[in-house]
């Protein structure tokens, strides 16, 4: 069956495709010429982040018009511009700890400026999830915190900051991914919360972000039985149209999470999920980081079939295409701002429990955890930062169980610095906490979601591994003033 040219153009105009590697493939450039709504960029596309403007210019030239160019620049553990060097901003959890709304706005305004210079139009951030479950495998430090009211204020500040640069902000992952024990990248995630709990918790940051003018909201691939026991949120009219559009009054652009994620691709399939999401009220559908040239034909074909059978109306398709086009241009920029994150804020993001010891020839043990799907592998090292400030620093990087007795032997007669990341989700790290508690001159650096430490063990919490946070942590451990920020190449 041949595909009507106008239907194909409309279906593609609701679609954002990704691709692998630094060079846009010919199939993607052809899809842009044929009406593709835009592109989502990932770390594999951007290298060291210095040639993004040239890349986005090339993508626009292929389309011959303004298109949506999106990426996930959350700061902290999830960055696309800084995958080679680590994020230039501290990240949501650290900013939530700082609790200064003006700083949060300025940090996100600086992100917005960098994105504008790079030719990006849509930042798939901020994360509006409240991290209610400390064992959550996918949100964690990406959240501003576990208090819904405080998170709501931070989210609103982040939206104001990003959009001051004319970049569209995107609240995610509606209606809230923070109380789940599953990662929707790899399996269906169920949000077992009552309507009353959702109203008092998860929905507060989304309400605040919408009130702050957020131009888009991302729907998470979440099953929320209290709202719709049969459909994940992405394809649920009750959640997208009824709750988000109706009760919350959102009139902006509704964006899907990546269609390639297992919670959707592994259940409905990408093309069927695309159609059901459009029917539910989603406007803009993105595929994810992989190559999917087959979708350039498969999506329009599935949309045409849905129109023919009456599952989808042409009015809904046209509405989605028109809304998606809103994200292709800049919004109203606010007061001017520079691209540099305010200097010195990372020191204020740190939390110290107890008294930090004076370090003597420290042995620094870094626990390396598996990177999340959303963040990918990022460079970081407390060992290197501390070695630049103190003599006699030695380091161990471990990613599996360690013999506690051997570790204590290596640390005999010297200080022990143990850096952990989420030991409640990594049992082998929990064992090392008990080992550190037996050392007479030990300090714990907690770089993940805060976890209880053994009694008497001094703790320095960074809530992230961004370079600025680790520099500030090293300075605190060395009893020095934090060094000035290392400037970032402005794309």
Q: What is the pLDDT of residues 287-329, one digit of tens each?
A: 999 999 999 999 999 999 999 999 999 999 999 999 999 999 8
In sequence order, what are the beta bridge partners of 216?
Answer: 170, 253
d(CA 302, CA 107): 42
In sequence order, what are the beta bridge partners of 328?
Answer: none
What are the backbone angles phi and psi of residue 313, rounded to the nearest 5°? -100, 155
What is the pLDDT averaged over residues 109-133?
96
pLDDT for residue 24 is more than 50: yes
User: 10 Å Cβ neighbour count for 286?
Assistant: 25
User: Taking each helix axis from N to C terminus, what angle separates 203-211 and 148-164, rounded to the nearest 10 degrees?
Assistant: 30
**Quick one: which H or E segment has residue 44?**
helix 43-46
* Residue of 24, 21, 18 lying closest to 45 (CA atoms): 21
Tell me if 39 sits within 8 A of 18, measured CB to CB. yes
pLDDT > 90: percent of the chain: 87
pLDDT band at 187 (very low <50, low <70, confident <90, very high): confident
pLDDT band at 490 (very low <50, low <70, confident <90, very high): very low
In this prediction, residue 491 carries a pLDDT of 59
In this prediction, residue 411 carries a pLDDT of 95
Q: CB under 8 Å to 386, separation ≥6 — which residues?
A: 359, 362, 364, 393, 417, 474, 477, 478
Which of 173, 177, 185, 439 is flagged as catalytic? 185
pLDDT band at 482 (very low <50, low <70, confident <90, very high): low
pLDDT > 70: percent of the chain: 96
What are the backbone angles phi and psi of residue 31, rounded to the nearest 5°? -65, -35
How many alpha carbons lie under 13 Å from residue 403 in its C-beta half-sphere? 4
Where do the domains of the chain lie, and which CATH numbers do they carry?
5-326 (3.20.20.300), 345-478 (3.40.50)
pLDDT band at 453 (very low <50, low <70, confident <90, very high): very high
Lowest-confidence region among 92-96, 134-138, 378-382: 134-138
Give the single-character DSSP code of 78.
Answer: B
What is the pLDDT averaged over residues 362-385?
90
Radius of gyration for the alpha carbons in the chain, expressed in angstroms and rounded:
23
The better pLDDT of the pair 344, 94 is held by 94
Name the maximum alpha-carbon separation found in the chain: 77
Active site residue 133: no
Q: Are strands 122-123 and 68-71 parallel, antiparallel or unpaired?
A: parallel
In this prediction, residue 292 carries a pLDDT of 96
* Distance, C-alpha 467 to centroid of its chain: 17
* Residue of 381, 373, 338 lying closest to 43 (CA atoms): 373
pLDDT for residue 122 is more than 80: yes
pLDDT for residue 484 is more than 60: no
d(CA 390, CA 63): 54
User: In angstroms, what CA-CA distances link 106 with 111, 113, 157, 355?
Assistant: 9, 10, 9, 31
What is the pLDDT averaged over residues 461-466?
97
What is the pLDDT averaged over residues 249-277?
95
User: 10 Å Cβ neighbour count for 249?
Assistant: 10
Active site residue 257: yes
pLDDT for residue 334 is more than 80: no
d(CA 357, CA 71): 42
Which residue is associated with the tokens 């570790």? 407
Mean pLDDT of the chain: 93
* Distance, C-alpha 193 to centroid of its chain: 23
pLDDT for residue 487 is more than 70: no
pLDDT for residue 333 is more than 90: no
Q: Is the dihedral angle over the CA atoms 220, 226, 230, 235 positive or is it negative? A: negative
Q: Are strands 351-353 and 459-461 parallel, antiparallel or unpaired?
A: antiparallel
Q: pTM value? A: 0.94
The better pLDDT of the pair 330, 272 is held by 272
What is the pLDDT averaged over residues 145-163?
98
What is the pLDDT averaged over residues 62-70?
98
* Residue of 54, 187, 71 lying closest to 120 (CA atoms): 71
What is the pLDDT averaged over residues 71-99?
95
Which of 257, 283, 422, 446 is flagged as catalytic? 257
pLDDT for residue 444 is more than 70: yes
In this prediction, residue 372 carries a pLDDT of 77
The better pLDDT of the pair 490, 100 is held by 100
pLDDT band at 425 (very low <50, low <70, confident <90, very high): confident
């Amino acid at each position: 069956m041949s595909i009507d040219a106008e239907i194909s153009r409309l279906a593609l105009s609701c679609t954002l495709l990704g691709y692998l590697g630094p060079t846009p493939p010919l199939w993607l450039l052809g899809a842009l010429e044929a009406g593709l709504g835009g592109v989502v960029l990932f770390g594999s596309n951007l290298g060291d982040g210095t040639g993004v403007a040239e890349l986005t210019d090339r993508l626009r030239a292929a389309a011959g018009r303004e298109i949506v160019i999106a990426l996930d620049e959350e700061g902290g553990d999830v960055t696309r511009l800084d995958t080679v060097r680590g994020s230039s901003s501290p990240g949501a959890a650290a900013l939530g700890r700082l609790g200064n709304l003006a700083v949060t706005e300025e940090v996100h305004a600086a992100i917005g400026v960098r994105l504008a210079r790079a030719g990006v139009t849509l930042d798939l951030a901020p994360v509006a999830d409240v991290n209610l479950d400390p064992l959550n495998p996918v949100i964690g430090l990406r959240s501003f915190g576990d208090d819904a009211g405080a998170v709501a204020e931070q989210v609103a500040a982040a939206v104001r900051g990003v959009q001051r640069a004319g970049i569209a902000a995107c609240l995610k992952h509606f209606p809230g991914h923070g109380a789940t024990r599953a990662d929707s990248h790899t399996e269906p995630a169920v949000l077992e919360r009552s309507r009353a709990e959702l109203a008092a918790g998860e929905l507060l940051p989304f309400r605040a972000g919408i009130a702050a003018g957020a131009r888009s909201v991302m729907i998470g691939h979440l099953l929320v039985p209290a709202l719709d026991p049969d459909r994940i949120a992405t394809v649920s009219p009750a959640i997208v149209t009824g709750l988000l559009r109706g009760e919350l009054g959102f009139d902006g652009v509704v964006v899907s999470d990546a269609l390639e994620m297992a919670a959707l691709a592994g259940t409905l399939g990408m093309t069927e999920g695309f159609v059901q999401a459009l029917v539910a009220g989603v406007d803009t559908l993105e595929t994810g980081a992989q190559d999917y040239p087959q979708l350039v034909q498969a999506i329009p074909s599935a949309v045409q079939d849905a129109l023919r059978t009456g599952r989808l109306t042409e009015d809904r398709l046209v509405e989605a295409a028109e809304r998606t086009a809103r994200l292709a241009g800049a919004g109203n920029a606010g007061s001017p701002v520079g691209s540099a994150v305010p200097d010195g804020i990372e020191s204020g993001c740190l939390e110290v429990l107890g008294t930090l010891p004076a370090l003597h020839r420290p042995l620094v043990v870094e626990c390396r955890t598996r990177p999340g799907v959303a963040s990918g592998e990022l460079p970081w090292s407390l060992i290197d930062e501390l070695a630049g400030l103190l003599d006699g620093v030695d380091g161990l990087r471990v990613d599996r169980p360690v013999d506690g007795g051997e570790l204590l032997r290596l640390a005999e007669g010297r200080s022990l610095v143990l850096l952990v990341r989420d030991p409640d989700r990594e049992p082998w790290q929990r064992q090392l906490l008990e080992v550190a508690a037996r050392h007479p001159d030990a300090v714990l650096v907690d770089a993940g979601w805060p976890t209880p430490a053994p009694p008497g063990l001094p703790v320095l919490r960074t809530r992230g591994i961004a370079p600025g946070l680790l520099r500030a942590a090293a300075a605190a451990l060395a009893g020095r003033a934090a060094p000035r920020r290392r400037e970032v190449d402005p794309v």
